[in-house]
Amino acid sequence: MAAVKSMQDLFLHTLQDIYDAEKQILRALPKMAKKAGTGELKQAFEQHRDETQGQIERLTQVFEMLDKRARGMHCHAIEGLVEEAKEVMDEVEDEQVLDAGLLSAAQAVEHYEISRYGTMIAWAKQLGLNDAAKLLEETLEEEKKTDQILNKLALGNVNRKAAA
Ligand SMILES: [Fe+2]
Ligand SMILES: [Fe+2]
């Protein structure tokens, strides 16, 4: 971790982390959509891929507000979560069980993002970066909505079919 001496530094560090995380997610979602058997799940992944593109754009705006170049710092946490999603894709053969696994992997990603954005919004407000906080809040709402959509799919029929 580059020298973090202040709360501003920590905010920037976390911004770089989530910027890289979103880019990793942007690459992973089309692969997950391709593997998903349930049409609604495929659609949810595709829709969130498009949202993720917009989220990256918002992050570049936050970098601009800080007068910093948009730059990522490798996010190990998301690398691990994406790696686990890959394991599911490689190892689960039954299509229904695969969907349940993909859903759970995607929800783990959303929960990580919800945690990160929640923290960054609190820090932005504390640092008086209210415009940045507003942008980050828009993204947080999308992450929460995505998690809810996934939850509904899981509890609606994906888990039931996987267990049948
Ligand atoms: Fe995201
Ligand atoms: Fe997300």
Is the pLDDT reported for residue 2 higher than 80?
no
Burial track 113-124 (b if 16+ CB lie within 10 A, e otherwise): bbebbeebbebb
Model pTM? Answer: 0.94
Please tell me the predicted confidence (pLDDT) of residue 3.
80
The model's pLDDT over 96-117, given as tens digits with 9 standing for 90+, comes to 999 999 999 999 999 999 999 9
Going from the Cα of 72 to the center of ligand 1, the distance in angstroms, rounded, reads: 14
User: Among 45, 42, 41, 70, which Cα is nearest to 58's?
Assistant: 70
Going from the Cα of 62 to the center of ligand 1, the distance in angstroms, rounded, reads: 15
Is the pLDDT reported for residue 54 higher than 70?
yes
